[in-house]
Amino acid sequence: MSNAQEAAAILAERRQTGTQGDRLPESCRPTSLEQALAIQAAVTEQWCAQQDDSIGGWKCLLPPEGKLIVGPIYTRTIDSVAPVTLWSKPNDVNIARIEPELAFFFAQDLPPREQPYTAAEVDAAISRTHLALELINCRYTDPNQCTFPEMLADGLVNQGLFIGPQVDDKLARNANEFSLIVGQNGELSSHNAKHPNSNPRVPLYWLAEFLRSQGQGIIAGQAVITGSFAGVLEVPMNTDITLDYVGLGTMEVSFKAKR
């Protein structure tokens, strides 16, 4: 078994059981982005074989210097009907961790090819945009002790995706900053929602090029999220939650802890 396969077996098992554990053994711990991507790909291979699953989408962001912000989202972990069953915050079964995002759905393949994809070609392949929530969970007990390649190997704390209502395309294209109002148990909290790359479509153009360079591609039907507008939010389980992306639309959802 290769180092990547050894590491992937640990992370895939934790992903399946919702458990956390120590950092990967030094014998298979990634120390570079290339090693991390190899482990991430091996996790995908093992997960999809064990779960009869596929890549249903991607998370991405324009990468800061020395990093890559990219990870697969598996089809079986994408939901659009509440209550959403997910792994709770570690050590607190009553809390779900989420990130408010937009999800871009592709109607056309963007397969590997020699020439780069233009922004116009990526735009033309998008069929619709939805309000969305990235579902957050980490496979390490103490992620603060982990290096970035270790986090990248684990898919950057993604455990799934919730798809909300469709958003008007023109509004979504310019959704750089807005107010986010979260309602729960009769109480409202307001957040200044701002996309980390200013424009939520910009990371899509990077992702199309990155996957092309890796001999992969975006497949019709996949959804891509491009960064949280308000970081990680913690909300209660078994409670009706309303998220108003002011000017874009409103999403209603509830969460139930996996056992």
Q: How far is CA 40 from the centre of its chain?
A: 13
- Residue 173: the pLDDT is 86
Run means of pLDDT, 10 residues per run, the chain, 259 residues: 93 96 96 97 97 98 95 98 95 95 97 95 97 98 96 97 96 92 94 94 96 95 97 96 97 95
pLDDT of residue 131: 98
CA distance readout (Å), 168 to 102, 129, 131, 163, 175: 12, 7, 10, 15, 10
Element (H, E) at 82: none
Which CATH class for the 55-257 domain?
alpha beta
User: pLDDT tens digit string along 200-216?
Assistant: 999 999 999 999 999 99
C-alpha 112: how far from chain center = 22
pLDDT at res. 39: 98
In this prediction the pTM is: 0.95
**What are the residues facing 102 on neighbouring strands?**
131
Domain regions of the chain by residue span: 55-257
pLDDT for the residue numbered 91: 87
DSSP-based three-state secondary structure for 203: helix
